[in-house]
């Protein structure tokens, strides 16, 4: 079983997506099934780390917080662009020491930081755990560090570690 | 334009608002790529279009077609998930490429590698 | 009445998305550096995908949504390939 189907959830999702995009018929089931099994076995060659979700019930809350924050920073960045260079604004880099080590957690944090307009993930040193981000409107460096650490890193550590 | 006339009024107005909001955010983001002066400032501008710009237009299309009931909204969900997952990958790779190029050329304004050392070791 | 408002809104949105593509294309031509061009190529791809989505809302045909999905996939792959190319020489961990 595990040799033939190393990732059963991934295979099932691929098959479901295939049939939703085409049609629900026996022919499409067989064709989609063949593609899904082949693709999930190709995935095994990449040897992805299997994430362990410890407290999945925190995910909806984090999702809500992130959606709201992205909307808020959308408005902030849009006003910065529309104001032009009339207002004093200092862009800059911020180094943040992270305690999160789980690879999937770091990947989700990267998605959050980059999707939020106004912050961009630049570099991460895996040995020291220091993350470098670029901030468009750098008013208070310590505030950005605490926002990233408390709003995003804390719940991600609870979910994944 | 037959199918648009079958829409109930609330759905039509909501769709109209969301479509204009999404397109407006994308346009502001594109103007940002023209206005900002350095690459790392410009990285922030297209994320307006890929976050709520895309989100609002996908929501508009989801509202429109679920009110009409003419087709499932599976494509909207797939596009939304795909854009959210892939944009960070592109932008992270670009930012790392830029930092690598700036460091090898010795340009000014590049954060030094020493920033990545742990604060307690320094 | 509301259908007319919706039609006008979609038309305005399409005009804005075309203007967004023009802005990105201008930066794509002007540069100044390769990474700016790749960034704006990606932004142009996203605007084109959104433009096709608005055409899909306008006509109500499902074929445009499949085209948008394909544009999103192609845009991602090409931008990542170009970004990797800019990083040549670095050993990827």
B27, C19: Cβ pair inside 8 Å?
yes
pLDDT tens figures, A16-37: 888 888 777 888 888 888 888 8
Q: What is the mean pLDDT of residues A114-122?
A: 85
Give the one of A70, A84, A97 whose C-beta lies nearest to B51's C-beta: A70
Tell me what pLDDT residue B119 has: 57
A87 and A147 share one domain? yes
Does residue B121 form part of some domain? Answer: no
Is it true that the peptide bond before C32 is cis, omega within 30 degrees of 0? yes
Strand order in the sheet with A119-125: A92-97, A130-135, A119-125
| pLDDT classification of A85: cutoffs 50, 70, 90 | low
Q: How many residues does chain A have?
A: 161
Tell me what pLDDT residue C92 has: 47
| pLDDT classification of C91: cutoffs 50, 70, 90 | very low
Q: What is the mean pLDDT of residues B44-66?
A: 88
Residue C46's H or E segment, with its range, is helix C34-59
Tell me what pLDDT residue A119 has: 86
Residues of B in contact with A20 (CB under 8 A): 72, 74
User: How many angstroms separate the Cα of A48 from the Cα of each of A7, A41, A103, A109, B86?
Assistant: 11, 12, 10, 17, 17
Cβ B51 vs Cβ A116: under 8 Å: yes
Domain count, chain B: 1
Cβ C21 vs Cβ B30: under 8 Å: yes
Does residue B96 form part of some domain? Answer: yes
Residue B69 pLDDT > 80: no
B50, A20: Cβ pair inside 8 Å?
no
Tokens read off for A50? 């299997």
Q: Hey, how many other C-beta atoms are within 10 angstroms of the C-beta on C93? A: 4
Tell me what pLDDT residue C49 has: 92
Residue C80 pLDDT > 70: yes
Tell me what pLDDT residue B27 has: 92
Does residue A2 form part of some domain? Answer: no
A81 and A31 share one domain? no
Q: What is the mean pLDDT of residues C51-69?
A: 87
Give the pTM. Answer: 0.86
Cβ of residue A18 closer than 8 Å to a chain B Cβ: no
Q: Hey, how many other C-beta atoms are within 10 angstroms of the C-beta on A45? A: 7
A42 and A67 share one domain? no
Does residue A83 form part of some domain? Answer: yes
Residue A47 pLDDT > 80: no
B41, A95: Cβ pair inside 8 Å?
no
Looking at chain A, which subunits does it touch, using at least 3 CB pairs closer than 8 Å as the criterion? B
Domain count, chain A: 2
| pLDDT classification of A58: cutoffs 50, 70, 90 | confident
A37 and A63 share one domain? no
Cβ of residue A16 closer than 8 Å to a chain B Cβ: no
Cβ A81 vs Cβ B27: under 8 Å: no
The mean of the pLDDT values for chain B is 82
Tell me what pLDDT residue C93 has: 41
C3, B60: Cβ pair inside 8 Å?
no
**CA C81: distance to chain centroid?**
17
A33 and A111 share one domain? no
Cβ of residue B13 closer than 8 Å to a chain C Cβ: yes
Q: How many CB pairs under 8 A join A and B?
A: 110
Cβ of residue A115 closer than 8 Å to a chain B Cβ: yes
| pLDDT classification of A3: cutoffs 50, 70, 90 | low
Look up the ipTM and state it. 0.85
| pLDDT classification of B3: cutoffs 50, 70, 90 | confident
A60 and A103 share one domain? yes
A65 and A142 share one domain? yes
| pLDDT classification of C20: cutoffs 50, 70, 90 | very high
Does residue B110 form part of some domain? Answer: no
Cβ of residue B63 closer than 8 Å to a chain C Cβ: no
Residue A4 pLDDT > 60: yes
Q: What is the mean pLDDT of residues B114-121?
A: 61
* CA–CA gap between residue B29 and residue B56 (Å, rounded): 14
Residue B112 pLDDT > 90: no
User: What is chain A's alpha carbon radius of gyration, rounded to the nearest angstrom?
Assistant: 21
Residue A41 belongs to domain spanning: 8-46
* CA–CA gap between residue A66 and residue A69 (Å, rounded): 5
Residue B33 pLDDT > 90: no
Selection from A92, C42, A151 nearest residue B49 by Cα: C42
CA-based end-to-end distance of chain A: 28
* CA–CA gap between residue B27 and residue B39 (Å, rounded): 19
pLDDT higher for A2 or B29?
B29
Q: What is the mean pLDDT of residues B93-100?
A: 85
Cβ B102 vs Cβ B38: under 8 Å: no
| pLDDT classification of A155: cutoffs 50, 70, 90 | confident
| pLDDT classification of C50: cutoffs 50, 70, 90 | very high
At residue A117's C-alpha, the angle toward residues A112 and A122, to 5°, is 65
A106 and A133 share one domain? yes
Residue C37 pLDDT > 70: yes
Of A79-83, A139-143, B6-10, highest mean pLDDT: A79-83
Tokens read off for A60? 């909806």
Residue B91 belongs to domain spanning: 2-104
Q: Would you state the torsion angle of the CA atoms of residues A110, A115, A120, A122, taken in this order, to the nearest 10 degrees?
A: 30
Does residue B118 form part of some domain? Answer: no
User: What is chain C's alpha carbon radius of gyration, rounded to the nearest angstrom?
Assistant: 17
């Amino acid at each position: 079983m595990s040799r033939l189907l190393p990732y059963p959830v991934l295979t099932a999702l691929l098959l479901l997506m295939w049939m939703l995009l085409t049609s629900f018929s026996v022919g499409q089931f067989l064709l989609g099934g063949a593609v899904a099994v082949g693709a999930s076995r190709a995935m095994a060659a990449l040897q992805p780390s299997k994430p362990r979700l410890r407290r999945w019930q925190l995910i909806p809350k984090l999702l809500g917080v992130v959606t709201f924050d992205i909307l808020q920073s959308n408005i902030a960045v849009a006003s910065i662009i529309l104001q032009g260079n009339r207002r004093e604004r200092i862009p800059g880099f911020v180094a943040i020491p992270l305690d999160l080590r789980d690879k999937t957690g770091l990947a989700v944090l990267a998605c959050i930081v980059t999707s939020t307009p106004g912050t961009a993930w630049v570099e991460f040193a895996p040995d020291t755990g220091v993350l470098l981000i670029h901030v468009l409107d750098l008013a208070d460096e310590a505030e950005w560090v605490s926002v990233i650490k408390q709003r995003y890193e804390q719940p991600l550590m609870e979910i994944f570690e | 334009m037959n199918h648009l006339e079958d829409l109930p009024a609330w759905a039509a107005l909501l769709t109209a608002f969301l479509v204009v909001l999404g397109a407006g955010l994308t346009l502001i983001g594109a103007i940002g790529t023209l206005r900002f002066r350095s690459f790392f400032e410009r990285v922030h501008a297209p994320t307006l279009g890929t976050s709520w710009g895309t989100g609002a237009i996908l929501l508009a299309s989801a509202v429109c077609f679920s009110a009409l009931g003419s087709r499932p909204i599976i494509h909207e969900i797939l596009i939304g998930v795909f854009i959210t997952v892939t944009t960070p990958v592109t932008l992270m790779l670009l930012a790392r490429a830029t930092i690598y190029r700036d460091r090898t050329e010795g340009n000014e304004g590049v954060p030094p590698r020493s920033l990545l050392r742990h604060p307690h070791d320094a | 009445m509301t259908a007319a408002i919706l039609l006008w809104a979609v038309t305005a949105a399409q005009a804005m998305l075309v203007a967004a593509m023009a802005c990105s294309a201008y930066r794509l031509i002007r540069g100044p550096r390769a990474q700016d061009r790749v960034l704006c190529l990606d932004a142009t791809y996203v605007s084109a995908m959104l433009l096709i989505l608005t055409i899909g809302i306008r006509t109500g045909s499902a074929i445009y949504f499949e085209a948008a999905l394909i544009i999103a996939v192609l845009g991602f792959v090409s931008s990542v390939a170009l970004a990797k190319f800019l990083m040549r020489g670095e050993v990827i961990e």
